[in-house]
């Protein structure tokens, strides 16, 4: 899709975490150009500020999973969204810490709480996305992926409450697992079991048209229709659509409702607002809720470009 010159300029003037993705996904810049811009994530803006708060042991805020949203887990998740380069030492140290301290050998997932008797599926999905990208290739990363395959439910999705009796998959858990499996596939190759599991997981989202009840057609949650950055563990339609784009999935007509929702949220000026509604922290100086959001606008534009056929599907 065409992006007005003033919006493109506004995006390119943003944080390095936004700029490099604009160059890659909207400008079709040569790889050496956008990779050079990506390298700036660690040295300027949000990324540099966050990296400057990392402790010598690779942690943030003195904890692995808590406090939310500034612990090691959620901070590395945010840096992944900003595009910290895969080979960066700070990312590697944090990923190794999360794997060493959280790997639950009993079932092959991640567990950061002594009271948990099993791994937590949402946490394992998000953790796999970070450890596959920033880890050093430790064989336990494959155990994480295998654990998630075992946890897939009959309806094709995942739910962290399935071992407590849940019989229907969760949007939140499903998108976290899909992103983790996609990251694993990107780094280690697209094995048939993982590809099949992702296809089934995306079908779960498609049956629900990304945000609707599969029985009544009603909106499952208004929060899913708002566009957030950062999303943390929460699901919304933009996060769902961006996964379909990233995975190079088929442009299925059942995505149409979510696409129209995104189009309808665009302001007359050409940008999108960052939604309020999730717990925020002032420790990281990101885009304020309710204001024009460069990251949300970037993601909306690249999703619409993919949908309209302006961006080739990934391979």
pLDDT tops 80 at residue 158: yes
pLDDT tops 90 at residue 276: no
CB atoms within 10 A of CB 275: 20
Give the span between the Cα atoms of 38 and 114, in whole angstroms: 38
pLDDT tops 70 at residue 315: no
Q: Please, what are the domains in the chain? A: 50-298 (1.50.10.20)
For 292, phi then psi, to 5°, come to -55, 130
pLDDT tops 60 at residue 313: no
Q: What is the pTM of this model?
A: 0.96
How is residue 44 written in tokens? 């300027």
Tens-place pLDDT, residues 127-148: 999 999 999 999 999 999 999 9
Q: What is the mean pLDDT of the chain?
A: 95
For residue 114, name the pLDDT band (cuts at 50, 70, 90): confident
Tens-place pLDDT, residues 203-245: 999 999 999 999 999 999 999 999 999 999 999 999 999 999 9
pLDDT tops 50 at residue 28: yes
More confident residue, 164 or 100: 100
Percent of the chain past pLDDT 90, that is, above it, reads 89
pLDDT tops 50 at residue 312: no
pLDDT tops 60 at residue 295: yes
Q: What is the average per-residue pLDDT within 286-291?
A: 90
For residue 173, name the pLDDT band (cuts at 50, 70, 90): very high
Residue 221: the pLDDT is 97
Lowest mean pLDDT among 171-185, 237-251, 277-291, 300-314: 277-291
User: 38: helix, coil or strand?
Assistant: helix
pLDDT tops 80 at residue 106: yes
For the chain, the DSSP string reads: ----HHHHHHHHTS-HHHHHHHHHHTS---HHHHHHHHHGGGTSHHHHHHHTT--TTS-BTTBSS-STTTSHHHHHHHHHHHT--TT-HHHHHHHHHHHHHHEETTTTEE---TT-SS--HHHHHHHHHHHHHHS---THHHHHHHHHHHH--TTS-B-TTGGGT--S-BHHHHHHHHHHHHHHHHHH---HHHHHHHHHHHHHHHHTTTTB-TTT--BS-GGGGS--SS-TT---HHHHHHHHHHHT----GGGHHHHHHHHHT--TTS--BPPP-S---SSS--PPTTSB-HHHHHHHHHHHHHHTTSSPPP-
């Amino acid at each position: 899709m065409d992006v007005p010159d003033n919006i493109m300029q506004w995006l390119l003037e943003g944080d390095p975490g936004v700029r490099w993705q604009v160059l890659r996904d909207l400008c079709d810049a040569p790889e050496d150009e956008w990779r050079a811009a990506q390298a700036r994530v660690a040295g300027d803006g949000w990324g540099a500020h966050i990296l400057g708060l990392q402790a010598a042991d690779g942690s943030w805020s003195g904890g692995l999973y808590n406090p939310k949203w500034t612990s090691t887990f959620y901070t590395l998740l945010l840096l992944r969204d900003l595009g910290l380069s895969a080979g960066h030492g700070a990312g590697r140290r944090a990923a190794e810490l999360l794997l060493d301290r959280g790997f639950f050998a009993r079932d092959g997932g991640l567990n950061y709480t002594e009271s948990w008797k099993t791994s937590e599926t949402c946490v394992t999905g998000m953790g796999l996305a970070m450890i596959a990208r920033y880890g050093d290739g430790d064989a336990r990363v494959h155990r994480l992926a295998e654990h998630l395959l075992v946890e897939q439910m009959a309806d094709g999705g995942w739910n962290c409450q399935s071992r407590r009796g849940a019989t229907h998959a969760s949007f939140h858990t499903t998108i976290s697992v899909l992103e983790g499996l996609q990251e694993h596939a990107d780094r280690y190759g697209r094995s048939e079991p993982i590809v099949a599991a992702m296809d089934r997981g995306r079908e779960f989202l498609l049956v629900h048209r990304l945000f609707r009840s599969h029985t009544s057609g009603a909106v499952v949650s208004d929060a899913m229709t708002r566009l957030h950055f950062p999303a943390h563990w929460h699901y919304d339609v933009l996060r769902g659509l961006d996964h379909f784009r990233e995975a190079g999935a088929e442009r299925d007509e059942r995505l149409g409702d979510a696409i129209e929702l995104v189009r309808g949220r665009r302001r007359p000026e050409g940008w999108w607002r960052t939604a309020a509604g999730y717990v925020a922290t002032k420790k990281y100086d990101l885009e304020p809720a309710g204001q024009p959001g460069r990251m949300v606008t970037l993601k909306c534009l690249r999703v619409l470009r993919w949908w309209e056929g302006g961006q080739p599907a990934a391979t």
